[in-house]
Amino acid sequence: MRGFEKLQELKDNMMKPIYEKRRHLGCELCGHTFYDYYKKTGLYGVPNGEESPHPTRKGMIIVHTYDDVFYPRCSKCWCDGTVRDAKTATAIYEKQAEKDRKKAERKAKKDAEPVKISRKLTYANKQAYYDRIDYLAANPNEMTKYEIMSSYFMDKVFWKRFGAGCYELECRHFTIKKHLWDGTYMSNSGKTRMGRFTPYFEVTNNQTGKVREVGTESVKRAIERETRFGKNRRNDPERNWGLPKNG
**Count of Cβ atoms closer than 10 Å to residue 39 Cβ:** 15
**How far apart, in whole angstroms, are the C-alpha atoms of residue 174 and residue 35?**
71
Closest contact distance (angstroms) between CB of 49 and Zn ion is 25
76 or 106: whose CB is closer to Zn ion?
A: 76
43 touching Zn ion, by CB under 5 A = no
Q: Are strands 23-27 and 33-36 parallel, antiparallel or unpaired?
A: antiparallel
Q: How far is the CB of 74 from Zn ion (least distance, A)?
A: 3
List, in order, residues 6 or more apart from 128 with CB less than 8 Å away. 115
CB of 86 to Zn ion, least distance (A): 12
Q: Restricting to residues 105-144, which ones interact with Zn ion according to CB under 5 A? A: none
Stretch that binds Zn ion, among 19-27, 108-116, 143-151, 184-192 (CB under 5 A): 19-27
SS3 of 135-194:
HHHHCHHHCCHHHHCCHHHHHHHHHHHHCCCCCEEEECCEEEEEEEEECCEECCCCCCEE
Q: Angle, to 10 degrees, between the axis of helix 126-138 and the axis of helix 151-162?
A: 60
Residue closer to Zn ion (CB basis): 36 or 202: 36
Give the nearer residue to Zn ion in terms of CB position, either 71 or 153. Answer: 71
Q: Which stretch, 10-18, 24-32, 49-57, 91-99, contacts Zn ion (CB under 5 A)?
A: 24-32
- Strand (E) or helix (H) holding 199: strand 197-205
Of 15-23, 27-35, 134-142, 209-217, which segment contacts Zn ion by CB under 5 A? 27-35
Task: Work out which of 14, 30, 92, 137 binds Zn ion, going by CB under 5 A.
Answer: 30
Q: Does 104 bind Zn ion (CB under 5 A)?
A: no
Count of CB atoms situated within 10 Å of the CB of 157: 25
CB of 34 to Zn ion, least distance (A): 9
For residue 55, report the phi and psi dihedrals to the nearest 5 degrees.
-70, 110
| 7 is a site residue for Zn ion (CB under 5 A) | no
Binding mask 70-99 for Zn ion (x = CB under 5 A): ----x-xx----------------------
Count of residues in the chain: 247
Give yes or no for residue 27 binding Zn ion (CB under 5 A): yes
In whole angstroms, the minimum distance from the beta carbon of 218 to Zn ion comes to 49
- Shortest CB 94 distance to Zn ion, Å: 14
Cα–Cα distance between 215 and 201 in angstroms, integer? 6
Q: Which of 66, 64, 14, 18 is nearest to 45 (CA)?
A: 66
Interface residues with Zn ion (CB under 5 A) are: 27, 29-30, 32, 74, 76-77
